[in-house]
A and B are shown apart, each in its own frame.
Chain A
Amino acid sequence: MEEKQKKERIGVYICHCGGNISDYVDVAQMRDIAKNEDGVVVSKNVMFACADSNQKEMIKDIQGQNLDAIVVASCSPKLHLHTFRNVASRAGINPYNYTQVNIREQCSWAHSDTPKEASVKAAGLIRAGIHKVAYSEALENIEVSSTRAAVVIGAGVSGMRAAIALAKMGNQVYLIEKEKTTGGHVANLGKLFVTEQSGKSIAGSLLEEIKKITSITLFTEASVEKVSGSLGNFKVDVKTGTETLHLAAGAILVATGFDPYQPKEGEFGYSQFPGVITLPEFRELIDNSGETLIYNNRKIKSIAYIYCVGMRQTKGENKYCSRVCCTTAIHSSLLVHEKFKNVTAYHLYRDIRTYGKQEVLYEQSSKNGDIYLKYEEKTPPVVSQEGNHLVIKIKDELTRRQEMELETDLVVLVTGMVPRSDHEAISGILKIPAGNDKFYNEIHPKLRPVETVINGVFIGGSCQGPKNISESVQSALSAAVKINALTKNPTINLEPIIARVNFEACTWCGKCAEVCEYDAIHQLEMYGKIVASVNEATCKGCGMCAPVCPADAIDIAQYSNAEIEGMIDGFAQKVEISEEAGAEAAGGEGGITMKDMPQVWRRIASSLETDPKTIPALAKELDLNPELITYNLMTMNKYSLVEAAGMDDSDEYYFYKLKNLKHVEN
């Protein structure tokens, strides 16, 4: 590790956030404390650090006073990290020589009851930030080259649909299917909800389309053997028959799907009594039946559906709801009603979850006279055989938990979705994690729903969790677009905050590679010895490797030992806050002075000083766009600088007048 040049011309900006910070944190003292730190040449209070005028001011400072690093103590970096990195860039210094200190969410807002303590904490954090930035390095974004190709694992509807989308966006696509045929479970389905189009025809038309697209290569009876490389440059070994192919791809989409739950022997009489079948078996029976519904050479006149079989087990393994089974069962019942007439349907359910548009099916089924009986998990229905019939005993929650029995010809176990029995094979090869339910996990269920923690590996369809066809295709298509966003440029830009190895110090003990969850560290021969090497595209900068290194040969960019130690030193210093100064800074009393405000605000304020005005009047007077006036006036309103003062004669616009501005300086 080369000796770092400590930064010696640091600029510090303490933001008031229009009172959000300065009402509680003694910003004047913060400025003075910062000023006394080593290397700080500029230390200022600013009303809104993010305001355009202040950004310009900062650039002027950086260039005029030859600053080499900056610290802004304001809000969370989630909000403005990039704002000030850009300020640094524009001023001509490296954006990574910038540190943001969060004194709003972490100080003024969190400790508004104890403003003095908020100030003490803010001072510590500001000092830590100054010490950190003093050791900061200039970093460049990592550029990774990318292959314009994708591997899609699984040729069910999700995989096929995503493959077509990827190909149409200009990618070479390798579609890998384990089975002999494509279409997965959907290919076995008959009429489906809403369009009445059959699953068979959906899967068939997708295959037809794929055959027409030359940039899609479909491998059936093929399996993924090994995956190496990383984002932009994956190498995927695929075995077809006796041959092993080596495919190059920029990204990988996993769309391996699900298995239907298989009831245990004796579960609700399954494989114990003839006439107890699962929902997929029943769908097949409906599709293959002619005029009459016949099972085991017997005409079926009544059907009992038992819901939530193998699902929502509070004590068992599958705690989740499979979300598609209620609708599938009810849709089956409607199909039966339509196709065979006069078949009694009993639905033994726990809760009906025909969410969204599927609710109409439920309503239709009730109107058809289907009988719904609700059972509790702890008192499940009991299936037995009486002569030719099956008899079910149930405690009906809807009829005072009365124990009742019903006679039926067929029992359909409404089974849900479980992860594929071979799910570990793929997750092992790709190192993608699975949840407690053993379905593959996304990074964030709401905000990053198709990305995995492995850069460049995406999940789509029901391998991620139970989904119906449209939801599966939605997620797969979303992954396809994500993949294309990565592969469409020859290079991919990545943040440089990753682990770095000091090759001189490294003696390769392998401990770092062991703890790395992303498989980003590998051996490398260099200078005639074996050292650890970090894959820049795979590394997430999580920092797991650094503390386990006995030779102290790994650190993380932006979190080097020097930076972290500097922060600790800065934070650990004693902070003296004087009380009386606190009162002065605590907003209100002094008011906000004109010179702290953005230019437009100043003009609005001076205009309002004479008499209250409406937005159009202000726009006319200041010769500015009314929308600009509205935006700025509303922000001023938010910070209690102006307030509404009645409506104009035509009841159309509010008048605004000054509120908290006491000293008006021009």
Chain B
Amino acid sequence: MSRIDPGFASELKKYGARDFSACFNCGNCTAVCGLTEKDANFPRMLIRQGMLGQKEEILASRELWLCYACGDCSETCPRQAGPGDYMAALRRYAISSYEPTGLTKLIFKSNPLFILFTLLLSVLLGFFLFTLKPDHEVARWLFTILPYDVIHNMGLVIFSITGISVIWGLATMTLRLTRNKVKTEGSKNNIWKALTEVVNEMATMNRYKTCDIEEDSYWKEKPAAVQPWFVHWSIMWGFIGLLVATVLDFMLKDPATAIWWPSRILGTIAGLFLVYGTSLAINYRMKKVTKAYSETRLADWMFLWFLWIAGITGFWLEVSVTFSFDHLLNHLVLLVHTIISMELVLLFAFSKFAHAFYRPLALFFYFKNGQGNK
């Protein structure tokens, strides 16, 4: 039997769930949500669990990751309890709880710490980057203070910590999700079927397309290319495309200089999508076009701006490389591009970015359990 923990609500508020105490359990949010189903009941049930402090239930929830934060529920909430923002906050809480270091907790709960940490990390990465060119003038000056090996190894350690944290997070989440036996009416699916469903969802965003499609929706008459699901799709696939292109470049050990190389073409297209998606998302959040875009935390800004800067600097470099502009400014841009990209990767487990691997995992178990079978 679970014991009610009344203090948990104030803990959640630190993650950005501000008004959810006003909820009076009417269930409007669940009713209006296009993604809820008979055996997938949210946001109301998750709000309830948050109010009563049922942490284990929340961390074992698959439903938490079904939500794309369209904000439909917040629009229609009769008590202005902000169920959409609550769901986002709960995901921040979950990301913080899955990874072992406690770092995410710190940066999500405190903006100054978040900024400080990001800056420190970028300085450290800057140093680390110099170790790749040990004969550079600045690098030589650095090594008189700190030995080359120390800096280089520290960088590697940081990368390892990230990697381990991701694996740890995925493992804890898997444990919790498998322990959560949700009774469903439909039959269970095998692993392949579930995997196909996950990949299908990632490729098509079909579930996201059902979000906020009411007659009076802001997006109803808008072309698909500017709709939230496509923005999300562009950012996600843009980033994945760039990651693949970078890895290919790295594996070939010969940074491709010719623009028609397949990995370069992939990188260019992916970069275009990334910049397009992030530009729109930033624009929407600045203009607060809908309720979903009106509550932006520092974590959201940082994530979007980092992606955008990485994309824009990437193109800058592409142009410079193509026309062989060897200029100090370009070196600086390269430095920024690399630091930002590496920060994104390093904060993979500790930032909003983590949803990129938690959501597919949750979806996998959701489909495997036969939830959401039509």
Contact = CB atoms under 8 A, between A and B. Distances in A.
B204 interface: no
B45 interface: yes
Nearest to B48: A399
A369 interface: yes
A352 B79 CA distance: 15
A400 interface: yes
Interface in B7-40: 9-10, 19, 21-25
Given A371-B52, A372-B24, A399-B52, A406 B10 contact: no
Contacts of B54: 399
A367 B23 CA distance: 8
B228 to A, nearest CB: 30
A369 B23 CA distance: 10
Contacts of A372: 24-25
A369 B10 contact: yes
Contacts of B4: 346, 371, 373, 404-407
Contacts of B24: 352, 362-363, 366, 372
A407 B5 CA distance: 9
Contacts of A406: 3-4, 6
A367 B22 CA distance: 4
B50 to A, nearest CB: 11
A371 B19 CA distance: 14
B3 A405 contact: yes
A403 interface: yes
Interface in B24-78: 24-25, 45, 48-49, 51-52, 54
B252 interface: no
Contacts of B52: 371, 373, 396, 399, 404
A66 interface: no
Interface string A372-416: 111000000000000000000100101110111111000000000
A393 B22 CA distance: 24
B2 A371 contact: no
B1 A369 contact: no
A403 B1 contact: yes
Contacts of B22: 363, 366-367
Contacts of A198: none
Contacts of B45: 399-400
B79 A407 contact: no
Nearest to A406: B4
Contacts of A363: 22, 24, 79
A114 B316 CA distance: 93
B21 A366 contact: yes
Interface in B91-132: none
A60 to B, nearest CB: 66
Interface string A352-368: 10000000001100111
Given A344-B6, A346-B4, A404-B1, A366 B23 contact: yes
Contacts of B1: 393, 403-405
A374 to B, nearest CB: 8
- The contact size tier of chain B is 20 to 34
Interface in B311-331: none
A54 interface: no
Interface residues of A, number: 26
A155 B51 CA distance: 46
A474 interface: no
A560 interface: no
A362 B26 CA distance: 14
A507 interface: no
Interface string B271-303: 000000000000000000000000000000000
B25 A398 contact: yes
A310 B247 CA distance: 72
Task: Tell which of A363, A366, A368, A400 has the most Cβ of chain B within 10 Å.
Answer: A366
A344 B5 CA distance: 10
B48 A369 contact: no
A302 interface: yes
Contacts of B79: 363, 366
A368 B48 contact: no
A366 B24 CA distance: 7
**Best-surrounded residue of A362, A363, A398, A407 (most CB of chain B within 10 A):** A398
Best-surrounded residue of B19, B24, B54 (most CB of chain A within 10 A): B24
B92 to A, nearest CB: 20
A302 B9 CA distance: 15
Contacts of A393: 1
A407 B21 contact: no
Contacts of B48: 398-399
A371 B49 contact: no
Given A366-B79, A400-B45, A407 B51 contact: no
Interface in A330-364: 344, 346, 352, 362-363
A371 B6 contact: yes
A399 B48 CA distance: 7
A135 B54 CA distance: 82
B2 A404 contact: yes
B6 A367 contact: no
B51 A371 contact: yes
B9 A407 contact: no
Nearest to A344: B6
A396 to B, nearest CB: 8
A146 B295 CA distance: 73
A403 B52 CA distance: 12
Contacts of A403: 1
A346 B5 CA distance: 11
Contacts of A407: 3-4
A367 B21 contact: yes
Interface in A258-298: none
24 contacts: A362-B24, A363-B22, A366-B21, A366-B22, A366-B23, A366-B24, A366-B79, A368-B21, A369-B6, A369-B9, A369-B10, A369-B21, A371-B51, A371-B52, A372-B24, A373-B52, A396-B52, A398-B25, A399-B45, A399-B49, A404-B1, A404-B3, A404-B4, A406-B4
The 8 A-B residue pairs with the shortest CB-CB distance, nearest first, are: A406-B4, A344-B6, A369-B21, A398-B25, A367-B22, A399-B48, A366-B22, A405-B3
Interface of B: 1-4, 6, 9-10, 19, 21-25, 45, 48-49, 51-52, 54, 79
Given A363-B24, A399-B54, A406-B3, 8 more contacts: A362-B24, A366-B21, A366-B23, A367-B22, A368-B21, A399-B48, A404-B3, A407-B3
